Amino acid sequence: MLQKIINNKFRILQLLALVFLLVLVRAFENELFYDPLLNFFKKDFTNLDLPQFDFALLMVNVLFRYALNTVFSLGVIYILFKDISMIKFALFLYAFFFVIFAIGFFYIVYFSAENHNWILFYIRRFLIQPIFLLVFIAGFYYQKQR
C-alpha cells in the first residue's frame, strides 16, 4: 500500500514537472524562439498585412518549438497511460499533423492572394501550442475505456 502511494506521488510529480516544462516553453517564447508573428497577432491583425520576416528561420523555430512541445507531451502521455504503442501512434500523429499544418502555413504565407490572417492564426496556434496533447489524452482515455 505504501509503495503504491509513493509510486503515485512520483508519477504526479513527473506529470507536474512535464506540465511545468510546457508552461516554461510558453512563458519564455519571446526569448527562446524567433517569431515576429507573436506581436503581429497581439494586435488587431484581421486587416493588416503580414510583417516582413525570414520564413526559413521562422519555420526552423516553429519546428523546434513543436518538437519541444511534442517531447514533453509524449512524456505526459507515457506517464498517464504507460503504453509504448500509444506513444508510437501519438508520435506518428504529431509528425503527420506537423507536415499538414506546415504545408498550410507555407501556402497561406506565399500563395494566398486574399487576407487569411485568421486561418494563419489558427494554423500557427496548432503548431506552437500543445493543443494536440488535450485531444490525444481524451482520445487515448476513451480508447482505454473501450
pLDDT in tens, 4-53: 656 788 889 999 999 999 999 999 998 999 988 888 878 777 777 788 88
Q: How confident is the model at residue 57 (pLDDT cuts 50, 70, 90)?
A: very high
Q: Please indicate whether residue 21 or residue 115 has the higher confidence score (pLDDT).
A: 21
Query: What are φ and ψ of residue 4, in 5° steps?
Result: -65, -40
pTM for the model: 0.88
Q: Please indicate whether residue 114 or residue 4 has the higher confidence score (pLDDT).
A: 114
Cβ contacts of 80-85, under 8 Å, gap ≥ 24: 80/15, 80/137, 80/140, 81/140, 81/144, 83/140
Please provide the DSSP assignment of 1-48 as one string.
-HHHHHHHHHHHHHHHHHHHHHHHHHHTHHHH---THHHHHHS-GGGS
Write down the mean pLDDT value for the chain. 89
Q: Report domain extents, the chain.
A: 2-145
Residue 73 near residue 130 (C-beta atoms within 8 A)? yes
pLDDT at 113 exceeding the cut of 80: no
**Helix-strand-coil percent breakdown of the chain, rounded to 5?**
85, 0, 15
Neighbours of 63 (CB within 10 A): 13
d(Cα 66, Cα 95) in Å, to the nearest integer?
10
